[in-house]
Amino acid sequence: MLRKLILATFITLLLVGSASAATLYAGSTAKYKTIQSAVNAANNGDTIQVASGTYNEYVSVSGKFVSIYGTSYPKVNGFKVTQGGAFINGFSIQKNGIDFQGAGSNNTIRNNYFYNCGVDITGLTCSENTIMNNQITNGTVTLCETWDNVVKGNKITKARIGLHLYEGATCTSITGNTFSYCDIGVQLPAVPPGMIGNTYIGNKVNIKIADY
């Protein structure tokens, strides 16, 4: 009896360990017609694959970590993430941008196009994020009270401030970005050691050290 119990427990552990995160699909011909409905149905660690198209949504993610991938840069108003986290890749973001407020750490914003909006990350709990290979027109990457972020390979143009760090925000790396035709390319309290290899084109001020 004991041997059977041990074997049953071992098999159960194997089944639990082999369980994998699910992939949910959103789009006009998919099970979930909106991105928000897919996010609501997702469990922690799931992936959401979004078909091309236009989604008039400001998607809210809370209490779970999800990976959200766009196919052929679907248009969306934006994403707001609280008390959870997200990997957001491959969207054309038209209005609200991507806003992390008090979310968990290690989020990624990658390979997106932003128009008249940008990225806003606030809160110590929401640290160690990666903002990489995005193209932002007339929008700002704003980091406030968030530590050890990576800002890499982005192209930011025609912004009032391209990258803005304040109230204790830090980056381990600000590298390979292009800031062009901004009023201020980068504004921050001090230049960190990892701020190298960036390109500045036609800005009124490339780097401004602000005494907050």
Predicted local distance difference test score (pLDDT) of residue 1: 46
User: Is residue 154 scored above 80 in pLDDT?
Assistant: yes
Characterize the bridge pairing of strands 149-152 and 171-175: parallel
Predicted local distance difference test score (pLDDT) of residue 66: 98
Please give the average per-residue pLDDT across 58-62, as a whole number.
98
Predicted local distance difference test score (pLDDT) of residue 104: 94
Please give the average per-residue pLDDT across 170-175, as a whole number.
97
Please give the average per-residue pLDDT across 157-171, as a whole number.
97
Q: On the CB side of 5, how many CA atoms lie within 13 Å of its CA?
A: 2
Q: Quick one: pLDDT band at residue 19, thresholds 50, 70, 90?
A: low
User: Is residue 14 scored above 70 in pLDDT?
Assistant: no
What is the Rg, in whole angstroms, of the alpha carbon atoms belonging to the chain?
A: 20
Characterize the bridge pairing of strands 178-180 and 75-82: unpaired
Please give the average per-residue pLDDT across 168-191, as a whole number.
97
Task: Enumerate the domain spans of the chain.
Answer: 51-62+69-209
Please give the average per-residue pLDDT across 147-174, as a whole number.
97
Query: Which residues share a beta bridge with 101?
Result: 122
Query: Around Cβ 47, how many Cβ atoms within 10 Å?
Result: 16
Q: How far apart are CA 111 and CA 127, in angstroms?
A: 20
Alpha-carbon 82 to chain mean position: 12
Supply 62's token pair: 């809370």
Please give the average per-residue pLDDT across 51-70, as a whole number.
98
Pick from 10-14, 95-99, 109-113: least confident = 10-14
Q: Quick one: pLDDT band at residue 211, thresholds 50, 70, 90?
A: confident
Predicted local distance difference test score (pLDDT) of residue 82: 95
pLDDT in tens, 135-146: 999 999 999 999
Predicted local distance difference test score (pLDDT) of residue 16: 37
Supply 9's token pair: 């427990």
H helix intervals, 19-90:
35-41
Q: How far apart are CA 125 and CA 65, in angstroms?
A: 14
Percent of the chain clearing pLDDT 90 (strictly above): 88
Pick from 17-31, 61-75, 76-90, 169-183: least confident = 17-31
In whole numbers, what is the pLDDT of the chain averaged over residues? Answer: 91
Answer yes or no: are the C-beta atoms of 2 and 10 closer than 8 Å: no
pLDDT in tens, 78-106: 999 998 999 999 999 999 999 999 899 99
